[in-house]
Amino acid sequence: MLENLKNKKVFFIGVGGIGVSSLAKFFKNKGFEIFGSDASKNENVQGLIEKYNLNFHLGHEAKNIQKDLDLIIYSPAISEQNPERKKAKEFEIPQFSYPEFLGKISEKIKTIAVSGTNGKTTTTSMIYEILKDQNIDPLLILGGISKKINSNFSSGKDDLFLVEACEYKKSFLSIKPDILIITNITPDHLDYFKDFNEIKKTFSNFVENIKEGGKLIIPEKSPVFEEIVKKALLQKIEIYTFLDEKKDLKVKSPGEHNRQNGAAAISFSKIFSLDYQKSKKYLEENFSGTKRRMDEIGKTDYGATIFDDYAHNPEGLNFLVETFKNEYPQKKIIIIFSPHLYSRTKKFFNEFVNILKKANFSYIEPIYAAREIKDPTINSEKFCLYSENSFCGSREEIKKNIEEKKYNENYILVTVGAGDIDKLAYELKN
């Protein structure tokens, strides 16, 4: 398909997103000029400008779209009413969503897709590092930043595509994998999905995309995976389970959830005919990890250790709090939580409250609305009505309170959320 693009110019709408930015790097690597727009200029955009010569437009305007563009790639969060998409349609420029183009890539080469409600970024990173350690160099598209390469993209030298496949808006249904790994399935993205049954059905539909002779890796044949297993058997897809691999596995990244991610990666290693013992040893001793996944940032002026994590749903937050309590039993755990989406906060409010109570103290900043309009029936102040060991306020108020308390080496501070709460972690660093 790329051979037919004459002007070698591609425009990315929502270029600051972690997924779309990785495709911008992909096209630049293929020799294209890259253009893009976004509502704000974040770190992803800045990196593309500095390292990939991105021609960037702040804000979305029709005038940003020129007739000589070959292709438009847009984030799934961008609607058809976006002025740039409307102008591209007027010019008859082909348009693909980010996941649709991933599907185009997966049709051409052998593809390993990693999906699941939680753990897919870390598991994809583990598989990437295992492959590289055994001299296999795949094309990588990642929904986070690998610390190993300090990027969400690697061009690869081998005819192999490793991709993190996200379920939001059913976007992974464009991808055609040879090997599909599902880390877990739990309720999430209920601003889009009707209920948990629809989420399970969507994962089941993804299994239908596995290519002939392909393989499926799941945690276990539990009731949650019942429909998925049925679909795979009908398609004569080989099914493997990975939870048994956890038994004697100790990964470098702490926490039971990372042992589970590691078990999925080790199971893949077996299926892909890699050296199992070498893969296991690598995860135990050398795995670099990913940014915003139990990421140690530094210390405050008074000696408290600061961590940052992307956890934004109840399961992810619970994994995080339990891990810190188990790994640092002598420390007091302070959670600084940025609730993500009004719909998610409202739906799982009680779960979030009960999890935050497990910490020694929690700070809760205003809800990060992201793609949603304000819902006046839910706000972050409500959290403080249910817990005495909490403080609700703006980011500046939280920062001031933390600085006044002078947390010392007996404390761990963890910024948590899918928004830009990580900025506070770096502000707190001495």
Using one digit for the tens of pLDDT, what is the confidence trace for 109-167? Answer: 999 999 998 899 999 999 999 999 999 999 999 999 999 999 999 999 999 999 999 88
Residues of the chain below pLDDT 70: 1, 188-192
Residues 345 and 250 occupy one common structural domain:
no
* Res 189: pLDDT: 62
* Res 57: pLDDT: 97
* Res 169: pLDDT: 74
Residues 116 and 174 occupy one common structural domain:
yes
Residues 6+ apart with CB under 8 A from 429: 297, 298, 299, 300, 306
Is position 3 within any domain? Answer: no
Domain span including residue 21: 8-93
* Res 1: pLDDT: 64
Residues 271 and 131 occupy one common structural domain:
yes
* Res 187: pLDDT: 75
The model's pTM? 0.85
CATH number, position 360: 3.90.190.20
Reduced to 3 states (helix: H, G, I; strand: E, B; else coil), residue 286 is coil
Residues 132 and 72 occupy one common structural domain:
no
Last-in-domain residue among 93, 109, 132: 93
The residue with tokens 């699941």 is 116
Residues 415 and 311 occupy one common structural domain:
yes
Is position 398 within any domain? Answer: yes
Total domains present in the chain: 3
* Res 192: pLDDT: 61
Number of other CB atoms surrounding residue 126 within 10 Å: 32
Distance CA 355, CA 340 (A): 15
Host H or E run for residue 142: strand 139-146
Closest CA to 131 of 148, 119, 108, 144: 148
Residues 249 and 120 occupy one common structural domain:
yes
Distance CA 14, CA 21 (A): 8
Is position 57 within any domain? Answer: yes
Host H or E run for residue 95: strand 95-97
Tokens coding 426: 């770096």
Residues 261 and 372 occupy one common structural domain:
no
